Amino acid sequence: MKRRFFSFLLLLLAGFVQAQQFNCTVTVNANTIANANTATFKTLERSIAEFVNKTDWIGTEFRQGEKIECSMYITLTSYDNNNYAGTIQVQAARPVFNSTYSSPIFNYNDKDFTFSYVEFQNLNYDPTSYSSNLVSVISYYCFMILGIDADTFSEKGGTQWLETAQEICNVAQQGGSKGWKQADGNQNRFFLVNDMLSNTFSSFREAMFQYHFEGLDNMAKDQKKAKENVVGAIKTLSKIYNVRPNAFLTRVFFDAKSDEIVSIFSGGPAISMNELSDHLNKLSPLNSGKWSSIKF
């Protein structure tokens, strides 16, 4: 809701309060691990959920209906002597103004997720120090979600939280786990936040604001104009292609939005979309089958 962003600003000016910002569902899937103690995995699941949902990440109060809906789906592939390896799928959505619909804003599968965990171990976020890779990864994605969410309510409104995610990334490099360094690959946690904050890819964040605040949030008021603004957001995103074809952030955008885009343009008032098909197929050719289902 638009109200959440304005409440956010007022509370920030009024001073910090103790509050939580997430309604996060955490699932730990260890089905591929044979002869393991499933109770340990359930404890891990509860520990992460409590860590995300009960930590006051930014000191700004979100009412219950304004908390960010998100999920973390952890698939464990190996477990040995309190050392875990697997993947973590992180998803988040934000409500659309004057509707019951929530729009996906982030859908990312991190395949470099390794950590140590002792059953009933306390998980605590300390912005000044490194404690474990588990705490760092979860904290990093919490701030990534906060930053992306804020960007959809105000143009580049999430800069502060993205910068915190970048700080977590820098500190976590001392732990030696994969995914935090430039040398670990070209599509990892390092590049995700680095690209978000880079002027080279600023069109991503501009497009997120246009798409949600100027587009979806106006669907109840003027569906045709709102759809035109969504088209405008995709055109803004296309600026990245001119600088870096097949950019990492372009994939991140369409991993979250491809199905929704098909839904938006498959019904409702018709608008001029002469360029939209070209933009979509240029930006995300892997989704060409979805784009072909839209009746342009």
- Dump pLDDT digits (tens) for 255-273: 999 999 999 999 888 887 7
Report which DSSP code applies to 26: E
| ∠ Cα 172 255 4 (to 5°) | 75
Tell me: pLDDT of 36 over 90: no
Query: What pLDDT sits at residue 87?
Result: 98
Residue with tokens 């990534």: 144
Query: What pLDDT sits at residue 19?
Result: 60
- Dump pLDDT digits (tens) for 150-168: 999 999 999 999 999 999 9
Q: How far apart are CA 205 and CA 212, in angstroms?
A: 11
99 three-state secondary structure? coil
Q: With beta carbons less than 8 A apart as the criterion, state whether 265 and 273 touch.
A: yes
Tell me: pLDDT of 48 over 60: yes
Report which DSSP code applies to 237: H
Among the ranges given (16-25, 43-52, 64-73, 271-280), the one the predictor scored with the smallest mean pLDDT: 16-25
In this prediction the pTM is: 0.92
pLDDT band at 14 (very low <50, low <70, confident <90, very high): very low
Q: With beta carbons less than 8 A apart as the criterion, state whether 233 and 120 touch.
A: no
Tell me: pLDDT of 13 over 50: no
Single out the residue of 213, 205, 223, 9 nearest to residue 97, CA to CA. Answer: 213
Maximum Cα–Cα distance for the chain, whole Å? 60
What are the beta bridge partners of residue 23?
69
